[in-house]
Structures are given as structure tokens and as C-alpha cells.
Amino acid sequence: MENQRNVDSQYLARLGAVLENVKRTTYQRMRVMEGSRVLDVGCGPGTDTIPLAKLVGSWGRVAGIDQDAAMIEQANSRAIQNGVAGWTEHRVAESDALPFDDASFDAVRAERLFQHLQNPAPTLREMIRVTRAGGYVCVLDTDYASASIAIDEHELERRFTRVVLEHSVKNGYAAREMPLLFQQHKLDAIDLEIVPVVYADYALARELGRWNDIERIALELNLLNEQELQHLRASCERADEQGGFVLHVNMVMVVGRKE
């Protein structure tokens, strides 16, 4: 639940810590090893490029691109602080026009990027173009259609999760469409994994789910009124007090090999 407005690097770092295991799984699925050349598309403040750079070592090469210059500046500072700048570069670029030659990388990934793309195909095409034959492409994204909050206000909960799905990001359905898109782009040995993310703490779910933003969007678009939001909050608080608050949402991880 991360609409692009107000998403800053601190927020991405907090969420990155929650997602550490699934991030590491993407590196394994892409067969990243010492000496690999890896690209992270929509790299943010280097949440993944820094651990990847440590993994590939100075024999390898890591690149990250992001359209946000402030993110790239932070990613480059973090590469220097972490002693990996010699083989790690971050550049400002658009995901559908990657500034790299064909077949320059062994592995190319994009995490929580496609939810921001109205039209995902040009970016996937670019990711495949810069991957070498036999290399791996990986997309990890949130399937917002799977978001579920265990509270007793069922009708309000469905309307609220629909605001998240259809109005808080540009393309909340992108994640579940990725396996088909991988097939249509002739990726081979496609591996699909669904990874649940569970928040059993209401305060953390509010923070990392950016609920203040979702509530504002719901009000602005007249999808829920203040009274309904109050009911929803009260229901979440009740569940939380009884130790029964749970929000879960699936992440879709797709990996494919370039032929």
C-alpha cells in the first residue's frame, strides 16, 4: 500500500527490513553469486543494490536505476558508506529506456515497481533486452487484490481494501498479471512463488500500509466518509486489543530465464 506520494527513503528502509527474507529469496532465484552482473530497476535508495554488491563482490558489477534523483543520490552515498562504490553504480533513468547495452547483465530484477506502471510491457521488454541469454529476470510485487484485514466490519473492509487496490497505486493488479506477461515475452523456466506478508500489529500495519494516505484518498474520492473510517478504525482497534488483528497480503515473485 505504497502510493508514490510521500514515499521516502526512510519508509522504504523500514519496509525493506520487513521484506528482507523475500528480497534474499529473489537473489537466490536469480542465481546471483560472486562475480555476477546484476541490475535493479526502480532501485529506490539502494535497498537491494547494497546487499547485492556485497554478494557479488568486487569481481561483479551492480547497477540500479530510478526515475527519482533524490533516491539515486542516497543510493550512491550508501554505496560509498558501505565500501562497494567501486563496482556499484546508480543512475537516474526511466524503466522503459534502460541506459545499458543489450545482454549486459546476468540477472535483472524489479521490486514493487510494476505497481507504479500503467503499461508494464515496455519495462519488461527492456529488462529482457539487457539480460544475457541464459540470464534471469525477476519481478517481485504486491498483489493488492489479495489484501485482507481480519475485522468484523466486512463491507467497510472490502471497500477500504478496494481503495488501496484501485486508487492508491497506478496499477494494483500488475503483480498477478506478471506470470502471463513473462510467458508472452518468451521467458523460459518460469518460476512463480506467492509469499504472504502478515502484519499482526495494527500500528505497524497502519504505518507500513500508509493508512493515513489511504484514508485521505478515500475521503477525497468520496469512497468512504469520515464516520465509516471511524467505524473501521474502531473495529481494527478492537481486534488489536483482543490480540486478533491480522492484515495479510500476498507478494508475487516471478522468475524467468532468457532463452
Ligand X SMILES: C[S@@+](CC[C@H](N)C(=O)[O-])C[C@H]1O[C@@H](n2cnc3c(N)ncnc32)[C@H](O)[C@@H]1O
Q: Is 212 in the site for ligand X (CB under 6 A)?
A: no
Nearer to ligand X, 26 or 131 (CB): 26
- To the nearest whole angstrom, how small is the minimum distance from the Cβ of residue 231 to ligand X? 30
Identity at 58, one-letter amino acid code: S
Element (H, E) at 167: helix 154-167
Segment interacting with ligand X, rule: CB under 6 A, options 38-46, 76-84, 126-134, 195-203: 38-46
Q: Is residue 44 exposed (0-12), middle (13-18) or buried (19+ Cβ within 10 Å)?
A: buried
Which residues inside 102-121 make contact with ligand X, applying CB under 6 A? 111-113, 116-117
**Which of 1, 12, 39, 107 is the binder for ligand X (CB under 6 A)?**
12
Burial letters 127-158, b for 16+ CB under 10 A, else e:
bbebbeeebbbbbbbbbbbbbebebebeebbe
Question: Does residue number 89 form part of the binding site for ligand X (CB under 6 A)?
Answer: no
- In the complex, minimum distance from the CB of residue 47 to ligand X, in angstroms, rounded to a whole number: 4
Q: Smallest Cα–Cα separation from 127: which of 115, 113, 116, 141?
A: 113
Given candidates 6, 28, 58, 67, which one binds ligand X under the rule CB under 6 A? 67
List Cβ neighbours of 207 (8 Å cut-off, separation of 6 or more): 14
- Which C-beta is closer to ligand X: that of 42 or that of 60? 42
Distances (CA, A) of 259 to 2, 4, 33, 183: 34, 34, 20, 12
Closer residue to ligand X (CB): 44 or 60: 44
CB 238 within 8 A of CB 131: no
Pick the binder of ligand X from 3, 16, 37, 76 (CB under 6 A): 16
Candidate list 62, 66, 151, 258; residue touching ligand X; CB under 6 A: 66
Among the listed ranges 36-44, 174-182, 224-232, 236-244, the one in contact with ligand X (CB under 6 A) is 36-44
In the complex, minimum distance from the CB of residue 220 to ligand X, in angstroms, rounded to a whole number: 21
* Coil, strand or helix at 218: helix
When the beta carbons of 25 and 246 are compared against ligand X, the nearer one is 25
Q: Match 515497481 to its residue by C-alpha cell.
A: 113
Per CB under 6 A, residues contacting ligand X are 2, 7, 12, 16, 42-44, 47-48, 66-68, 71, 94-95, 111-113, 116-117
